């Protein structure tokens, strides 16, 4: 099995959660938000190292290498990758998705091992009807059978991710996920169906729901 290093993106701020501390340190079910994802990553045998991109002045959790994150998400990924030990594959995960499980990570590895692709990414089919609009006027209704909500983790061939992160600061700032950078130069990205419980904590309502799910698991 190829070697994997995990990059945990934890440099975000927590203002929208109503906290004055970094988002990764916001309490969730009795623990810092990032601690849940870190446990899942460290439980996967294929992952040899975890590098955390953190806000300035924050100490790296035990068992991780910490680096200071950048102004934009992809800048943080690039900083963490530069500090990461040599590996064949790189897994990127947002600390704001605390419902990560080892099984999700292992499914991504299975797809990467069996398919000739540059990336395998967690995703869930879109359940709602999606409409495109100009302002508040509907333009058209999109065919949701072809639409997926993209999550992290995302697993990459290291050489493909390094190429993607070398596209320049403007391209990185505009990217909402790292897989889109792979797509921009024609790389093949595979979807791996995942539970909708692997959502991103952005609002106080999200945090409350995450606490209920995590306490129920515990």
Per-residue pLDDT of the chain (218 residues; tens, 9 = 90+): 789 999 999 998 777 787 888 899 999 999 999 999 999 999 999 999 999 999 999 999 999 999 999 888 888 999 999 999 999 999 999 999 999 999 999 999 999 999 989 999 999 999 999 999 999 999 999 999 999 999 999 999 999 999 999 888 888 888 889 999 999 999 999 999 999 999 999 999 999 999 999 999 87
Contact status, residue 83 vs residue 54, Cβ threshold 8 Å? no
Residue in this structure with the two tokens 């990336």, named with its chain if needed: 119
Model confidence, pTM: 0.95
Q: Which residues pair with 49 in a beta bridge?
A: 5
Two tokens, residue 184: 């921009």
DSSP letters, 68-114, are E--SSHHHHHHHHHHHSPP-SEEEEEETT-TT--HHHHHHHHHHHHH
CATH code where residue 111 lies: 3.90.550.10
List, in sequence order, the alpha helices (H) in the chain. 33-42, 73-83, 102-114, 158-165, 169-174, 178-184, 204-217
Under 8 Å CB-to-CB from 134, ≥6 apart: which residues? none
Q: What is the pLDDT of residue 159?
A: 97
Two tokens, residue 168: 């320049």
Q: What is the pLDDT of residue 134?
A: 96
In angstroms, the Cα distances linking 134 to 90, 131, 149 are: 38, 10, 21
Q: What is the pLDDT of residue 1?
A: 72
Among 168, 187, 206, smallest CA distance to 33 is for 206
Q: What is the pLDDT of residue 108?
A: 98
Number of domains present in the structure of the chain: 1
DSSP 197: T
Length of the chain: 218
Domain that holds residue 201: 4-217
Q: What is the pLDDT of residue 139?
A: 97
Q: What is the pLDDT of residue 181?
A: 93
């Amino acid at each position: 099995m190829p070697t994997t290093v995990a990059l945990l993106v934890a440099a975000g701020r927590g203002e929208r959660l109503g906290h004055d501390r970094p988002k990764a340190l916001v309490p969730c079910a009795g623990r810092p938000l990032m601690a849940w994802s870190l446990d899942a990553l460290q439980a996967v045998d294929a992952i040899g190292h975890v590098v955390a991109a953190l806000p300035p002045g924050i100490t790296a959790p035990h068992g991780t290498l910490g680096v200071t994150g950048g102004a934009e998400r992809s800048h943080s990924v690039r900083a963490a990758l530069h500090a990461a030990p040599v590996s064949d594959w790189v897994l990127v995960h947002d600390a704001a998705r605390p419902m990560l499980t080892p099984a999700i990570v292992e499914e991504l590895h299975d797809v990467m091992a069996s398919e000739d692709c540059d990336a395998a990414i967690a995703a869930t089919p879109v359940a709602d009807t999606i409409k495109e609009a100009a302002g508040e006027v509907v333009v058209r209704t999109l065919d949701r059978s072809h639409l997926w909500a993209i999550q992290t983790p995302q697993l990459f061939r290291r050489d493909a991710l390094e190429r993607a992160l070398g596209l320049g600061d403007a391209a990185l700032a505009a990217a909402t996920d790292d897989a889109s950078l792979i797509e921009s130069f024609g790389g093949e990205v595979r979807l791996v169906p995942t539970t909708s419980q692997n959502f991103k904590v952005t609002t106080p309502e999200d945090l409350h729901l995450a606490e209920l799910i995590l306490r129920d698991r515990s």
